[in-house]
Structure 1
Amino acid sequence: MAASLSLQLWQRADRHRRLLLVACQGYLVLMALYDAWVWASKAGRLPSIYLPIYGLYLVVGALEMQFVHIVWHLQQRYRLLNRLKTQRDRLKAGVKYEKIRAYSSNGNYTPNQQLLILHSLCDIHAELYDAVDAVNSAYGFQILVHTLSIFLHCIISPYFFLLNLLYPMTYGQTDPAFLSLQLMWILIHVSKLFLVVQPCSATCNEAKKTGSIVVKLLNVELQLPMKRQLEVFAMQLIHRNVEFSAFGFCNLDFPLIASIAGAVTTYLVILIQFQNSDTGSTPNNPAN
């Protein structure tokens, strides 16, 4: 009963995640259409060079959704792995996962069966680490380019938005539709950064919980074979640290967002100061 309920909750959460990814991709399509309409209304016709740009945005968005979907599934499997080790005070499999089977209907296991379950958990953790390593190898370079693109867009889009907002007489872009379009693109770039970093950070945090659980089990009075298997598991956790990286240049976690936010703020302040010196004006008070 518990296994069936957990499986239903997992499937429901997976459906919600898929709907969220489809909604994000649909939002990109709507933004591309809105952007095309704004530029076409201002220029009289849509520049043909914008069409491949819109197509590239959708392709990159699909790649990002695929990466996020895979990482979300890895997070769910680490969570199931931790549940298998923390259910009550014994190693009971409340949720079935690949090699792990319920050895008895009442949940009472012999020492040999518990040792076999623990050994299966070690194998599953090793396979999950190999899966994370495969994801880093397959998507590392793409995520690096994607992160650099988001970083540049997080500088360029707010810069031109602030120019049009603070210097309307100089740049002449006071159309609310144009300003709202720029603001929406800024929100999209920031959201795309969070969409990539959040599941990676959550998966790493879930993987780190495994070490805490193993340490707690080592402090429990167990038979010698179980102790030795837990020590082997602990050594495996030490040498296999789960991390997602952008081609090895930076780790995909929340400190990366803080670093990007600080760098973007610094560049924006410098660019606005240069703009003041070039135009000889201050915001909302243009020079004559």
Structure 2
Amino acid sequence: MLKLHGIPTDYNYTFKSQITWLLGIFVSIICIISLDTAISDIKFYGTIPKICLLIHVMYTTVFQFVTDLTFNNFLRYLRNRLQCVNKLIPNILFKRHPQLINAANSEKIQVYLITDIREIHYSICSMASEYNTTIGIQILLSMTNSFLNSLSQLFKLYVMFVLMDSCPYNSTGALHSYCFLHKLIRAMPLVLFSTKIFLTIHTCVATSYEANRTGQLLAELQIATTNGHEKFRREIDIFLLQLIQNPLRFTAYEFFVLDFTTIHRMIGTVTTLLLLQVQMDDIHE
């Protein structure tokens, strides 16, 4: 149906984009985990236990990022389809659509086009909602794991920078450069998991926004339509009713909505826990 309106499928571009993201994340995870394990204080009795720990951590982390990136890439593709659909709506009114140029009976074609676009929009939103429902538990576990990992890494940095000095010698030069690199490596997992949370929520918000922006375009289209196009206006009313009854939103298995308010709550939780930690440290001192 999209090809009839001149919208390309872009399967090759989507596949290449996903492969590029996966390779970048895979290399980043290997480097971060390897460096973090190399400077860790854990004592390994032999090389085999260290290799087994690395494989276990890398496998679980890579698996989570692969599923999340697949989810994000699929939503980005649907958002791109919705953007193409939204670009068609003004073309119907101003008769810039390919099927309306030099058409003899443009009013009937306009009704057909808006009906077809309504069905396409409903199909795209249904696919997004069903996909979100299918992997809702995975998203919930992944978001929870990323938040807890970010929180634990943040407390590690707090202990490193505030409660103890990770560079015990008061010298300058190479030793302090090594200490700065040590702290920078410790901060990389925090950046990695925090970025994953932000990208997932940003993708969900952007897709929901593009789906809901169709209603604004339809309202403008309805205002600009003359009173003589009763069938066309009736199709617009049906389209608007469909958007009101089926708003597109993404959740983590209905536990919480994936929007920017979730990030606000996470930041509030982290700030509260850090304040409690600081107060407890003051009490112990």
Q: Which residue in the other structure is 1:286 paired with?
A: none
The CA distance in 2 between the partners of 1:87 and 1:26, in whole Å, is: 44
The CA distance in 1 between the partners of 2:13 and 2:167, in whole Å, is: 50
Higher alpha-carbon deviation: 73-82 or 22-31: 22-31
Higher alpha-carbon deviation: 213-222 or 192-201: 213-222
Q: Which residue in the other structure is 1:243 paired with?
A: 249
1:99-139 Cα offsets, whole Å, 9 max, x none, are: xxx43665786211111111101111110121111111112
- 1:198 partnered with 2:196: no
Measure how far apart 1:21 and its partner are. 4.5
CA contact (8 A) 2:75 2:203 kept: yes
Measure how far apart 1:91 and its partner are. 5.4
- 1:167 partnered with 2:199: no
Measure how far apart 1:47 and its partner are. 7.0
1:4-63 Cα offsets, whole Å, 9 max, x none, are: x98599976875565344323321222122223323897685374443122100111111
Q: Which residue in the other structure is 1:234 paired with?
A: 240
Instruction: Report the aligned-residue RMSD.
Output: 3.2
The CA distance in 1 between the partners of 2:92 and 2:231, in whole Å, is: 21
1:41–1:247 CA distance, 2 compared to 1 (3 A): closer
Q: Which residue in the other structure is 1:275 paired with?
A: 281
State the TM-score, normalizing by the size of structure 2.
0.82
The CA distance in 2 between the partners of 1:215 and 1:153, in whole Å, is: 44
- 1:86 partnered with 2:90: yes
Which amino acid is the alignment partner of residue 250 of structure 1? F
Which amino acid is the alignment partner of residue 218 of structure 2? V
The CA distance in 2 between the partners of 1:16 and 1:106, in whole Å, is: 39
The CA distance in 1 between the partners of 2:15 and 2:55, in whole Å, is: 33
Higher alpha-carbon deviation: 69-78 or 221-230: 221-230
CA contact (8 A) 2:76 2:203 kept: yes
1:235–1:269 CA distance, 2 compared to 1 (3 A): same
1:143–1:80 CA distance, 2 compared to 1 (3 A): same
Extract unaligned runs of 5+ from structure 1: 94-101, 281-288
Q: How does 1:217-232 map to 2 (within 5 A)?
A: 217-219=221-223, 220-221=225-226, 223-232=229-238
Measure how far apart 1:195 and its partner are. 1.4
Higher alpha-carbon deviation: 169-178 or 25-34: 169-178
Matched residue of 1:39: which SS?
Answer: coil
The CA distance in 2 between the partners of 1:107 and 1:269, in whole Å, is: 68
Q: How does 1:1-288 map to 2 (within 5 A)?
A: 15=16, 19-39=20-40, 46=50, 48-87=52-91, 89-90=93-94, 92-93=96-97, 102-103=98-99, 110-168=106-164, 175-219=179-223, 220-221=225-226, 223-278=229-284, 280=285
The CA distance in 2 between the partners of 1:82 and 1:52, in whole Å, is: 45
1:169–1:238 CA distance, 2 compared to 1 (3 A): closer
Which amino acid is the alignment partner of residue 199 of structure 2? L
State the TM-score, normalizing by the size of structure 1.
0.81
Q: Taking every aligned residue pair, what percent have the same amino acid on both sides?
A: 18
The CA distance in 2 between the partners of 1:107 and 1:53, in whole Å, is: 62
CA contact (8 A) 2:39 2:182 kept: yes
CA contact (8 A) 2:250 2:258 kept: yes
Which amino acid is the alignment partner of residue 228 of structure 1? R
Higher alpha-carbon deviation: 191-200 or 27-36: 27-36
Extract unaligned runs of 5+ from structure 2: 170-177
What number of residue pairs does the alignment pair up? 269
CA contact (8 A) 1:78 1:206 kept: yes
The CA distance in 1 between the partners of 2:246 and 2:274, in whole Å, is: 40
Measure how far apart 1:249 and its partner are. 1.1
1:175–1:14 CA distance, 2 compared to 1 (3 A): same
